[in-house]
Structure formats: structure tokens, C-alpha cells
């Protein structure tokens, strides 16, 4: 039989894993250990000097976590990946590898509220400055770039509004200015969209969401596309300059097209320390095995619920690119043929108080600050996830006072629409 490239569902189950060599266990074992025994002193020295691959300490590498990393790299089409403790940790480690004090990055205004807060406030403690741009106007990204700009950051599907980003258009700007494009692909997952195929250089995930899919484990992923030339100049010294902690090794020369992922691991994760638990890695691996099945059902249910809400008298508008009348529908059909995702917002007639009341009156939807669960979830962003933002920032992020965000799960969609109808019509 002729060799062929495995399909997505096959990779979701098999990539990175083999039966355990020691026991024959077919499921990936949980290597719940802090440290690993060296063969001898020479072996230990080669590991610490990056002259050999292997396990030293679970903060840096772990066999269970390695399966998760290889699987996501395969699903996203990257050269290597690094798993960390959360999506926020992934953002810190990725940008720590690119930025120095006084540097800037350009980010889309339409982002998860926690990311806006992290970029606007916490990152200032590192001396990193963010400039904001509009994903509906790619030229605004070019206008925000300065000589100190080290990256562009966008979401493939924006949280909370579900807006789909034309990644290729912004990738062209990043390439013209010779800076890497970082794409948070959390809401799409690689089943719906693979940013690297559209020009992304780095892909991030909150694996807590759709990758794990069951609301039971935190995790973050950094994927190196292997496409950016970090050795072209001296703007990225973590990769292009000699590293004194590794005997003057230049990571870009030694590791080539996966040097960014190595730098994130041995210069970021090693010292900043946001390691992923092996048990959480195991849960995320298990969740990913059903990713294509879940995402298809998520999208089918989301479309049915969005269509219901679009026709409801208490709803002013629905922002979901899967709807034929949505401004992003043509882009969704072109970029996400399997579906427009499972997270979207709608605006209620009645403003802030109507949003609070709806959340209170729902019974099947769980009121939580999460998305991507098997269960359907609801939140009022203006009073929760985007609460720290100014009113103008909330509107720019698609989280105005009358906006409610839904993450549609895997239940029967008729039960979801019945719950929403009862809550919308409650006195």
C-alpha cells in the first residue's frame, strides 16, 4: 500500500504517541514525576548543555507532555510545540522570547478581555508596550508598526464576538515588515482553521478550551511554524545571539526551523516556570482524540441556536459569521468551511440589565468564565471578563453592556433554544 499523509482525525488520535515501550500500555501513561534519572554524568551534562534531547525535570520536559506537544504541532502543521500551564502563560512565554524592555507589539482590539488586560497592564512591568489595531482594517496594523515592533498578535476567531479575522491579509503586512505574526487559534482549533497555512509564524492556544474540550484541565500551547527567519538580523537576540547559559550556543544556528520553540522552552519555561502538570497533559491528550467530532457538533448546534436568536423579538442582533446575513459570512465560508465556531455574542433589547437578567434566568446554560466545554456556557462580558476595560474598550472588543456571550456545547440544540426562549420571555 502506497504511503499517504494521515488525515486530521487520525492525527488527533495517533500523532506523537506509541504503545509504552516499558509496559505495552496503549493509552499514553501519566509520568507523574518531578525528575528523571541520568544514565551517567556525561549523559547529564549533554542534556543540560542542549547537546542531546531527553528529560531532566518536569518543569522543562515530561514524556506525557511531549505527546501533547507533538500532537498539536502535527495538527497545526508546525515544526514543534511547547505546552505550558495556561493560555495566558503561553502568551507570556512566547512574547518573552521575542521582546526586550522598551519593545512594542501590535495587537487586535477585538481580543479576549483577559488578554487586553494582560497586554495593557501586566506587560508594562516587563517594559513591553502594546499598540492597538482594527482587524477590519488591515492597514491599521501597518500604521501602528514602529522600529521597536517585534510582533503582531491577533485571534483567528475573536473572543467574545466570534468575528473571523482575515489572517492572510495581516500576515502579508507582518512579512513586509519582517516581524512574526502570532495567531491565537483557541476558538477555531486546528480542525476549523490552520493559521500557519495562511501565513502565521506562531500559533497559540488556550488548550483549556476546545482542545481539551471538557472543562476539566488548564493548559496552553505555543506552536512554532518554522517559517520566520530569526537569524536575519539582531532584533531577536534570544534566538540569534550567543547564549551565555549554554556556552555561547546560538539557538537559531543549532536548532534551525524549530529554534523559536526551543528558546521558549529553555529560556522561557525553564526560568519563568509555568509548567503544565503531566496529569493535565493526559486529560488534554484524551480530549483531543475527539476534537473533530466535537467541533463538528459544536458548529452545527451553534448555527441552530444563532438562527433561533436572530428571529427572537427580544434580541436586537446576533454576531455569528455562520448566519447568511452576517457581515463576516463570506469570509467564514472561504476560511472555515467546516463551520464558523461555537462561540458568539448577541445584543439584547434592554441593555445591561437585560443581559444580567437573561444570565440569571437560564437553567441549562452554565454561567461560567470559560468556553469550549461539552456543556453550553453563558456569560455577560461587560460585568465579568471585560469588566476591567473602559466603556470604549468594551465596545471595541465587542463586549458592550447589552452583549451576552454563548459557548454552545454538545447538547440537543432544541433543549438549548427552549432554555433561551424561556429565559428571554421570563417576567
Using N-to-C axis directions, what is the helix angle for 63-76 and 278-288, rounded to 10°?
40
**Phi and psi angles of residue 378, each rounded to the nearest 5 degrees, phi first:** -140, 150
Q: What is the mean pLDDT of the chain?
A: 95
Residues 198 and 100 in one domain: yes
**Residue 18 located in a structural domain:** no
Residues 237 and 136 in one domain: yes
Task: Tell which residue, 202, 253, 207, has the closest CA to residue 71.
Answer: 207
Note the pLDDT of residue 1. Answer: 41
**Phi and psi angles of residue 161, each rounded to the nearest 5 degrees, phi first:** -75, -15
**Phi and psi angles of residue 34, each rounded to the nearest 5 degrees, phi first:** -85, -30
The band of 427, judged by pLDDT with boundaries at 50, 70 and 90, is low
| Mean pLDDT confidence for 197-212 | 98
Q: Cell digits for 91?
A: 502568551
Residues 106 and 223 in one domain: yes
Whether 133 has a pLDDT exceeding 50, the answer reads: yes
Task: Tell which residue, 160, 153, 111, 124, has the closest CA to residue 144.
Answer: 153
Whether 123 has a pLDDT exceeding 60, the answer reads: yes
Number of domains in the chain: 2
**Residue 122 located in a structural domain:** yes
The band of 3, judged by pLDDT with boundaries at 50, 70 and 90, is confident
Q: Cell digits for 397?
A: 472588543
The band of 350, judged by pLDDT with boundaries at 50, 70 and 90, is confident
Task: Give SS3 for 122.
Answer: helix
Distance CA 205, CA 82 (A): 11
Q: Let me know: does 30 contact 282? Beta carbons within 8 Å.
A: yes
* pLDDT tens-digit readout, 376-409: 999 998 887 767 777 787 777 777 888 999 999 9
Share of the chain above pLDDT 90, in %: 89
Residues 267 and 309 in one domain: no
125: containing domain: 33-287
DSSP state for residue 275 in the 8-state scheme: P
Count of CA atoms in the C-beta half-sphere (13 A) of 359: 26
Whether 17 has a pLDDT exceeding 80, the answer reads: yes
Residues 174 and 316 in one domain: no
Which of the residue ranges 4-18, 167-181, 377-391 would you say has the lowest mean pLDDT?
A: 377-391
Residues 6+ apart with CB under 8 A from 10: none
Report the side by side order of strands in the sheet with 315-319.
315-319, 343-348, 403-407, 377-379, 366-367
Distance CA 152, CA 150 (A): 7
Q: Which helix (H) or strand (E) holds 80?
A: strand 80-84
Distance CA 66, CA 69 (A): 5
Note the pLDDT of residue 147. Answer: 97
* pLDDT tens-digit readout, 87-103: 999 999 999 999 999 99
CATH number for the domain spanning 408: value is 3.90.1150.10
Q: Which of 287, 308, 323 is the last residue of a domain?
A: 287
Task: Give SS3 for 390.
Answer: coil
Report the DSSP pairing between strands 149-155 and 104-108: parallel
Residues 244 and 310 in one domain: no
Q: Which of 242, 269, 287 is the last residue of a domain?
A: 287
Share of the chain above pLDDT 70, in %: 99
Q: Cell digits for 362?
A: 437560564
Residues 174 and 57 in one domain: yes
Note the pLDDT of residue 2. Answer: 56
Distances (CA, A) of 192 to 76, 157, 204, 206, 304: 11, 10, 15, 15, 18
**Residue 22 located in a structural domain:** no
**Residue 7 located in a structural domain:** no
Residues 273 and 304 in one domain: no
* pLDDT tens-digit readout, 254-310: 999 999 999 999 999 999 999 999 999 999 999 999 999 999 999 999 999 999 999
Distance CA 141, CA 230 (A): 21
Q: Let me know: does 202 contact 180? Beta carbons within 8 Å.
A: yes
Q: Let me know: does 90 contact 205? Beta carbons within 8 Å.
A: yes
**Residue 243 located in a structural domain:** yes
Residues 121 and 165 in one domain: yes
Residues 257 and 305 in one domain: no
- In order, the DSSP letters of 316-357 are EEEE-TTSTTSTTHHHHHHH-TT-S-SEEEEEETTHHHHHHH
* pLDDT tens-digit readout, 317-334: 999 999 999 999 999 999
Q: Let me know: does 201 contact 180? Beta carbons within 8 Å.
A: yes
Residues 149 and 281 in one domain: yes
Whether 349 has a pLDDT exceeding 80, the answer reads: yes
Task: Give SS3 for 315.
Answer: strand
Q: Which of 228, 252, 287 is the last residue of a domain?
A: 287
Distance CA 393, CA 382 (A): 10
Residue with C-alpha cell 427580544?
314
**Residue 12 located in a structural domain:** no
Distance CA 361, CA 348 (A): 14
Note the pLDDT of residue 226. Answer: 98
Residues 255 and 388 in one domain: no
Cα-atom radius of gyration of the chain, to the nearest Å?
22
CATH number for the domain spanning 96: value is 3.40.640.10
**Residue 132 located in a structural domain:** yes
**Residue 26 located in a structural domain:** no
| Mean pLDDT confidence for 410-414 | 98
β partners of residue 378: 367, 406
Task: Tell which residue, 24, 32, 19, 23, has the closest CA to residue 282.
Answer: 32
Amino acid at each position: 500500500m502506497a504511503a499517504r499523509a494521515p488525515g486530521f482525525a487520525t492525527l488527533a488520535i495517533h500523532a506523537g504517541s506509541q504503545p509504552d515501550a516499558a509496559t505495552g500500555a496503549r493509552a499514553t501513561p501519566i509520568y507523574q514525576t518531578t525528575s528523571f534519572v541520568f544514565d551517567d554524568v556525561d549523559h547529564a551534562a549533554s542534556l543540560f548543555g542542549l547537546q542531546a534531547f531527553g528529560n531532566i525535570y518536569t518543569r522543562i520536559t515530561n514524556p506525557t507532555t511531549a505527546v501533547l506537544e507533538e500532537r498539536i504541532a502535527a495538527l497545526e502543521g508546525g515544526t514543534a510545540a511547547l505546552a505550558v500551564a495556561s493560555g495566558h502563560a503561553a502568551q507570556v512565554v512566547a512574547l518573552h522570547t521575542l521582546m526586550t524592555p522598551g519593545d512594542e507589539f501590535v495587537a487586535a482590539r477585538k481580543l479576549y478581555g483577559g488578554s487586553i488586560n494582560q497586554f495593557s497592564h501586566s506587560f508594562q512591568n516587563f517594559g513591553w508596550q502594546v499598540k492597538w489595531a482594527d482587524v477590519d482594517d488591515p492597514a491599521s496594523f501597518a500604521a501602528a508598526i514602529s522600529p521597536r515592533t517585534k510582533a503582531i498578535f491577533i485571534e483567528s476567531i475573536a473572543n467574545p464576538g466570534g468575528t473571523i479575522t482575515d489572517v492572510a491579509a495581516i500576515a502579508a503586512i507582518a512579512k513586509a515588515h519582517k516581524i512574526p505574526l502570532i495567531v491565537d487559534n483557541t476558538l477555531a482549533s486546528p480542525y476549523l482553521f490552520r493559521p500557519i497555512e495562511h501565513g502565521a509564524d506562531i500559533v497559540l492556544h488556550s488548550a483549556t478550551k476546545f482542545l481539551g474540550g471538557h472543562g476539566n484541565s488548564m493548559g496552553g500551547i505555543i506552536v512554532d511554524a518554522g517559517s520566520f527567519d530569526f537569524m536575519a538580523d539582531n532584533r531577536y537576540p534570544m534566538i540569534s545571539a550567543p547564549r551565555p547559559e549554554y556556552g555561547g550556543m546560538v539557538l537559531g544556528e543549532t536548532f534551525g526551523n524549530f529554534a523559536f520553540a526551543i528558546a521558549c522552552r529553555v529560556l522561557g519555561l525553564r526560568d519563568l516556570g509555568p509548567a503544565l502538570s503531566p496529569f493535565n497533559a493526559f486529560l488534554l491528550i484524551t480530549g483531543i482524540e475527539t476534537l473533530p467530532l466535537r467541533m463538528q457538533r459544536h458548529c452545527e448546534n451553534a448555527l441552530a441556536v444563532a438562527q433561533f436568536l436572530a428571529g427572537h423579538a427580544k434580541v436586537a442582533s446576533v454576531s455569528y459569521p455562520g448566519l447568511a446575513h452576517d457581515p463576516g459570512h463570506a469570509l467564514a465560508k472561504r476560511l472555515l468551511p467546516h463551520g464558523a465556531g461555537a462561540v458568539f455574542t448577541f445584543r439584547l433589547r434592554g441593555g445591561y440589565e437585560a443581559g444580567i437578567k437573561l444570565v440569571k434566568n437560564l437553567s441549562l446554560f452554565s454561567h461560567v468564565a470559560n468556553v469550549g466545554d461539552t456543556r453550553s456556557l453563558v456569560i455577560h462580558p461587560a460585568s465579568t471578563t471585560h469588566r476591567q476595560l473602559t466603556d470604549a474598550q468594551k465596545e471595541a472588543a465587542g463586549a458592550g453592556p447589552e452583549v451576552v456571550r454563548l459557548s454552545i456545547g454538545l447538547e440537543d440544540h432544541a433543549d438549548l433554544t427552549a432554555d433561551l426562549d424561556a429565559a428571554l420571555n421570563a417576567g
